[in-house]
Amino acid sequence: MIYYKKKISFSGLNRELIDISKKIEGLKLPKGFLEFINYTLFELFANIKEHSRAKSAVIEININKKNCLVKIIDNGIGLRKSYLLKKIYPKDDFAAIEFALSGLSTKNLQERGFGLYSIRKLTNALKGEMIIKSGFTQAAIKESQINFKKTAQKIQGVDIIIRTPVKLLDFYKAVE
């Protein structure tokens, strides 16, 4: 139904996101699934824009009748450095990913930071899978379980891969 892959410069993120969103809104998707995709893309793009200091990002989206893939790779500073710059001190890349998944914001300790946390909840509700790579660490999240492992090569920024079936979703209940 849609296949999209493109390297986008930092300054082009807004325009590209609106274009992608328009294309996706034109698809016939099960109830709640469009909200899931839009929510995921906007939150991930917001993370890149507001925290990553990336010069560019590679976006891949593949949605067919059964499955959905969203892959976003940025060449920014990575999760741990992003926290360190805000005086939040994860001891390593594992901890940085855990912080991000638990909803800890790099902006303000009291608020925000629900982007990846909510995407994880939504992906779980769809019985999908989410992979986050940053630094020397990879976290694979499936059925509420997180499996961490060391990566052989250092990931410069943050890589996020989300795979879900395309199906009905009670979005507003799942995102609570």
Partner 1 sequence: MKDPFLVIKKKHLAFREDVKHLLNIVQKKIKKEKIKTLYLDFSGVNFLSRSFMDEFLNILDDFKKKKLIIKIVNLKPQLEKFLWQIKKKKEKIRKEMNKTRG
Task: Say whether residue 42 binds partner 1 (CB under 8 A).
Answer: yes
Contact 101, 132 (CB under 8 A): yes
Contact 38, 24 (CB under 8 A): yes
Task: Say whether residue 118 binds partner 1 (CB under 8 A).
Answer: yes
Q: What's the min distance (Å) between Cβ of 53 and partner 1?
A: 15
Beta strands in the chain (DSSP E): 2-9, 56-63, 67-74, 129-142, 145-165
Task: Say whether residue 39 binds partner 1 (CB under 8 A).
Answer: yes
Task: Say whether residue 111 binds partner 1 (CB under 8 A).
Answer: yes
Task: Say whether residue 16 binds partner 1 (CB under 8 A).
Answer: no
Binding residues for partner 1 (CB under 8 A):
14, 17-18, 21, 25, 35, 38-39, 42-43, 45-46, 49-50, 110-112, 114-115, 118, 171-172, 175-176
